[in-house]
Structure 1
Amino acid sequence: MSTAFPARWWHTLEDGRVQCDLCPRDCKLHEGQRGFCFVRQRVGEGMVLDTYGRSSGFCVDPIEKKPLNHFHPGSSVLSFGTAGCNLGCRFCQNWDISKSREQDTLADEASPEAIARYAVRTGCQSVAFTYNDPVIFAEYAMDVADACHAVGVETVAVTAGYIHAQPRREFYAKMDAANVDLKAFSEDFYHRVTFAHLQPVLDTLEYLKHETRVWFEVTTLLIPGHNDSEEEVTRLSEWMMDRLGPDVPLHFTAFHPDFKMRDVPATPPATLRRSRDIARRTGLRYVYTGNVHDSDGGTTLCGGCGTALIVRDWYELLSYRVTPEGRCPDCGADVPGRFDAEPGAFGARRIPVRIALGTSGA
């Protein structure tokens, strides 16, 4: 399968350079140059995406690992990514993939149709674009989404939300759900630690809430001494309450030392619990903790009467009391999200897929 795929969202500048219009980096390229993401390249008078049809690996995961707690709980999701990223996070937990400059990282070939067929055959309710940011391989992700929808499989974007308005409209028109990684709630953090900016991510969150039907949840990785102060967590929570409302789930997850921040300690569980308490006090109804063992922090509580509706142990569902209509059985309050008559039973397994998914299918 050819990996040099004609890219969308670019234009030619008066000085002859080509500008990429996919994300706010606005990379301006001479012949042969690559953008910050490394996978979008100027070739001739246009641009190509050179990771189309290739993956750094496939895995069948629990949907809660994305993390999505209100999107078909207990179901399995076929997950994959490519290489490169349009952010430069110094703490990247998937740096071997997102920072890769080696095409050898992309070991598996996979056509959109083959991915969709494999999801059906393995009983996956959805396909997730993850590990690195799907924004940079948007053309591939959108084609996979079309193939998935044709066979009744839904699609999930796990993303930092760093994308321009026009491609954002086209990209999310193909997605059923998303988890948006809100790295912090300060421009200084975004500038110093991710080499990006905060406002475009906030714009994406507001767009998802007010202009789409995409189910989305938000994740913030709390890094000790960098974005975990009570003041910053309060401002983040208040912004979500004011701009997104009380029903968008928020996940606070634990950092572990990695990539270029190995000198920073892991996040104490107490920091996650404190942040969850702060967010709930601001009025957010569905706040979770992740990357730690915390049954309370993984439990979905009814926003009406407070009863425990879904109790989780890591990615395992211990109890499930949401009605087939998506309501609390005790008080009848709606539970926001996408729920089925019965929860999935995939559990906490993680199954790497080590087979070819070429143009003829697996």
Structure 2
Amino acid sequence: MVWQERVYLDYAATTPVDERVIKAILPYFSPNFGNPSSVHFEGQQAEAALEEARERIAQALGAKPREIIFTSGGTESDNLAVRGLALAERKRRGATRILITPVEHHAVSATAHQLEDVYGFKVEYIPVDSHGQVDPDDLRALINADTALVSVIYANNEIGTINPIAEIAKICCEKNVPFHTDAVQAVAHLSLDVESLGVTALSLGAHKFYGPKGVGALYLRRGTSIVPTQTGGAQENGLRAGTENIPLIVGMAEALSLVLEDLDRESERLRTLRDRLIEGVLESIPRARLTGHPTQRLPNHASFAFEHVDANLLLMHLDHEGFACSSGSACKTGNPEPSEVLQAIGLTPQWAMGGLRVTLGRGTSQDHIERFLEVLPQVVEKCRVINRVS
């Protein structure tokens, strides 16, 4: 096969690490390799780097440094928030209901269901509309004194829809119920001022905003009760045991600072490319539909469903043509299943099996979009022919 170049269109899955971030990280492998819990000079150097990173991330979020807990990534942050807050609220006031949406990342939904299966909580769903968005009035009708926790994703990883987080947080505050949001996909593109949002807890992961994999953070509002889910040492104010990964934490702080410096300009550039992509796909491919909200969506995020197309096959053919994308379908080899998110927004299996997520980033150009629009209609038609034959 001959490619002009490979085109990466899967920035929602992960992003390349910024070279400036790599430069910031390297000294903390060596020579500044100390353990921040050690009292000697090397340990003090590491602790200073840790606390400087904490202050930088807190400032970026409009938080206090003590409200930042470092974790191994967005998944652990979600786990700590959902499990830790729910257990604390049951201990504090006997609350046993957990409210989530049917379009949460599995780091939230699987944790909630484990709490139901193992710990006796009851999980209930806040409905979403055909765009995957929550109506705050629906939450208002569900929340009550027995609600231990509400968790609603800020911006959906699969379909890009943005939720009215500040309105949801206000309802939770009125009812004195902790509110967590998974903001992993939102960090590189949306405002995350925690005071304006009014959230109790907010999760982020560095590799979604040009930082390293394997590191994340949880914002936890000061004074909030939470049960640690990783125990041992007294790191992170006793809320997350284990020696902190100083190189990656330093890298996350640098990456977040850099992405926020250019947030407005880059979001506008990506929004223009995204809109061209959406327009081109819907004009050129029959039986195609946009999934997620048409306007209240991430500026870099375009997602589609194609009737009678197998998403795995579509991705394979796109990869063969030199394009890296993702599917909206949670397909397993030999056992394809329709996407839970696409079914939750009302798509039938013949549509939900054909999900495609195209996410843009710093390396995406107008030429990449035009080349993709040349190739995609042919690939979709090829997949439909194969589907008819089989």
Higher relative contact order (CA 8 A, sep 6+): 2
TM-score, normalised to structure 2's length? 0.27
More helix per residue: 2
Query: Which structure shows the bigger proportion of residues in strand conformation?
Result: 1
With normalisation by structure 1, the TM-score equals 0.29
Computing the radius of gyration from Cα coordinates, the structure with the larger value is 2
